[in-house]
Structure 1
């Protein structure tokens, strides 16, 4: 499970050292792809295989499904951390997420997310007020 917030740096070659707490889960491979809100999703190889099972069940007659799958899967890149635990973020994904040197990596349960730090801070500021003022059950049975 991926939890927490971290602030690694992107090096000049487009590589990032993911948080030590994520290494066991990601050491045998991962998939990095476009996420929503212009972040990147990082799935363990095992979790991405679970997603693939669900993807194969999606109706191809739904334009919304096709559009989502095209964007989600066309950006997917399999990566294996190098001996120094660095992962290369492909140029097209760095551009999509607007990544510069300053990154924020968050744990989001079944995945990690990589954000441009300014974008994360703006998102957090906007979403936190809604989170604090939530009066309805958002996730059934959670609270």
Structure 2
């Protein structure tokens, strides 16, 4: 983990499948908030059950070593396509870990539509 993130992370984090092909990293406190929200999803809704299963079955508590490294479980490494280089970015309430090649593709696409997305979201937030 980059030094700028380590202080806020604590000794143990939760690494989980993310959206768009990355992994999400949560502090224990942030994960508790996510977990509580997941528990409120209705068990009578098929999408809710599937989402809970996919999110909760992949979540793994990981310890940071003295140098700020974490050992990511093999299943999550495979899920995110982490083979060589990765990119670590901070996003609101979590950190994302991307395979470098995946990130570059996503960044290219999202860079091209960033301003249009900002317009569509203009009613949701003010900068």
Q: 2:120 — aligned with what?
A: 136
Q: What secondary structure is seen at the aligned counterpart in 1 of 2:14?
A: strand
Higher fraction of helix: 2
Moved over 6 A (4+): none
Matches of 1:139 and 1:128 in 2, distance apart? Answer: 21
Matches of 1:120 and 1:139 in 2, distance apart? Answer: 28
Q: 2:37 — aligned with what?
A: 54
Do residues 119 (structure 1) and 102 (structure 2) align? yes
Do residues 106 (structure 1) and 73 (structure 2) align? no
Q: 2:54 — aligned with what?
A: 71
Normalising by structure 1, we get a TM-score of 0.83
Return 19-28 or 34-43, whichever deviates more: 19-28
Task: Give 2:25's match in structure 1, choosing from 24, 28, 42.
Answer: 42
Matches of 1:139 and 1:121 in 2, distance apart? Answer: 29
Q: What secondary structure is seen at the aligned counterpart in 2 of 1:87?
A: coil
Q: What secondary structure is seen at the aligned counterpart in 2 of 1:37?
A: coil
Aligned residues between the structures: 126
CA-atom RMSD in angstroms? 1.3
Matches of 2:66 and 2:125 in 1, distance apart? Answer: 42
Q: Extract unaligned runs of 5+ from structure 1.
A: 1-17
